[in-house]
Structure 1
Amino acid sequence: MTGSAPELAVDGAGASDEHASSDETAGTEDRRLSDLELEGEIAADYIEGLLDIVDMDGDLDLDVESGRAVVAVVGEGLDKLIGAGGETLEALQELTRLAVLQKTGTRSRLMLDVGGHRARRRVELRKIAIAAASRAITRGEPEKLAPMTPFERKVVHDTVAGIDGVHSESEGEEPGRRVVILLG
């Protein structure tokens, strides 16, 4: 009987450690989700203040997608917050990320969308990526796309990753950084 007691204790300790590790992982994931939700709330407060200053109306939707906080401003007449080619939106996103950094001390990967611009742009970019990949395959040579924002390049890279026979790389420096679609 005494010979089996230490074995049971070891087995019990191992199971307990394994369970504790699982609990720690769940706790870390919960904490990360809570951190992302906090980022979204800070960003929403910042954007609300901005909307008040520029006297614009918009509803704010907060979400967490793919490990990042997402804040969407929904409403009519928000084009000035998007700007030509989304340049104003990119600047607002960076300012919002800085507001989150100031409050939390942590760099944010927050995604800001205004008036559904990013969702519409995502659809356009997927079409562009598919067409460019097709041209690269047909011509047998690399296809260089126009300079894009980091958001736009990521959409293109993700799309190209799902197409057989091609892959993509980024080249150049901001603001002229672009995607090149290569065979292979």
Structure 2
Amino acid sequence: MKTISVTGKTVEEALNQGLTELQATREQVDYVEIQTPKKGFLNFFSKPAILEITMKPDPVGEAERFLADVLRCMDVNLDIHAFDTEEKKARLEMNGEDVGMVIGKRGQTLESLQYLTNLAANRHSDQYRRIELDAENYRERRAKTLEQLAYRLAEKAKRTNRRVVLEPMQANERKKIHQTLQTDTAVDTLSDGKEPRRHVVIKPKET
């Protein structure tokens, strides 16, 4: 976090000078008054205002810098753009020819990158801000695939009157299966097993 010391005839003047130097808005900084301005007699013995101004932590900026460094180490050339920046969350989208390298098998690499990026983004911040990583809209495409899978296997469970065991999935993907079928009154879903082999089971409801 960058901190500078500035001087001015008044607190406001010193603050404005600091904001100009930092190229920041008032909402982006905190400041401490090191010396209170004091008017002297005929300009003698007067004291200027001295402030220490510190940039507030910027989780989104931290996330972008961290992710760019990781991609550079991976020798992956992708563009990073921030979207949907809100008070408690933001989304970083990666685009480019090498996007498959940051997605990995069923999004496992993307999930790992997201976890590490959130740690880096919030290490200096008192208020947690969730960063969601995406790559060429992978998450939406994967969600649709999971929905179709859930409907298809639910029909199989009902048709055969037998439970259907899905392949091991990450927690967020298991949650998507549960949510998709929660309104289906003919089947129940449950998670079974231990990580990393934890999976969803779809079974016909007992009548």
| Common fold by TM > 0.5 | yes
Could you tell me which residue of structure 1 aligns to residue 198 of structure 2? 177
SS at match of 1:102: coil
Could you tell me which residue of structure 2 aligns to residue 44 of structure 1? 64
CA distance in 2, matches of 1:102, 1:117: 27
CA distance in 2, matches of 1:125, 1:48: 30
CA distance in 1, matches of 2:108, 2:165: 21
CA distance in 1, matches of 2:199, 2:77: 34
From 142, 151, 157, the counterpart of 1:121: 142
Could you tell me which residue of structure 2 aligns to residue 89 of structure 1? 110
CA distance in 2, matches of 1:84, 1:158: 23
Amino acid at match of 2:184: I
From 113, 117, 125, the counterpart of 1:104: 125
Count of equivalent residues: 146
CA distance in 2, matches of 1:92, 1:114: 11
CA distance in 2, matches of 1:77, 1:43: 20
CA distance in 2, matches of 1:147, 1:90: 15
Are the equivalent residues in 1 in contact too, given 2:165–2:200 (CA < 8 A)?
Answer: yes
Greater fraction of residues in helix: 1
Amino acid at match of 1:95: L
TM-score (norm 2): 0.60
CA distance in 2, matches of 1:56, 1:159: 35
Once the two structures are superposed, the pairs formed by residues 1-184 of structure 1 within 5 Å of their partners are: 39-53=59-73, 54-63=75-84, 68-104=89-125, 110-184=131-205
Are the equivalent residues in 1 in contact too, given 2:168–2:198 (CA < 8 A)?
Answer: yes
CA distance in 1, matches of 2:195, 2:82: 30
CA change 1:55–1:132 in 2 (3 A) is closer
Q: CA RMSD in A?
A: 2.5
TM-score (norm 1): 0.67
CA change 1:144–1:87 in 2 (3 A) is same
Greater fraction of residues in strand: 2
CA-CA distance at 1:110 after TM superposition: 3.6
SS at match of 1:90: helix
Are the equivalent residues in 2 in contact too, given 1:79–1:115 (CA < 8 A)?
Answer: no
CA distance in 2, matches of 1:165, 1:123: 22
Could you tell me which residue of structure 2 aligns to residue 32 of structure 1? none
CA distance in 2, matches of 1:68, 1:181: 33
Are the equivalent residues in 1 in contact too, given 2:80–2:92 (CA < 8 A)?
Answer: no
Percent identity of equivalent pairs: 32
Are the equivalent residues in 1 in contact too, given 2:64–2:80 (CA < 8 A)?
Answer: no
Q: Which runs of 5+ in 2 are unaligned?
A: 1-57
Amino acid at match of 2:77: M
SS at match of 1:148: coil
Comparing 90-99 with 110-119, greater Cα deviation is found at 110-119
Amino acid at match of 2:70: L
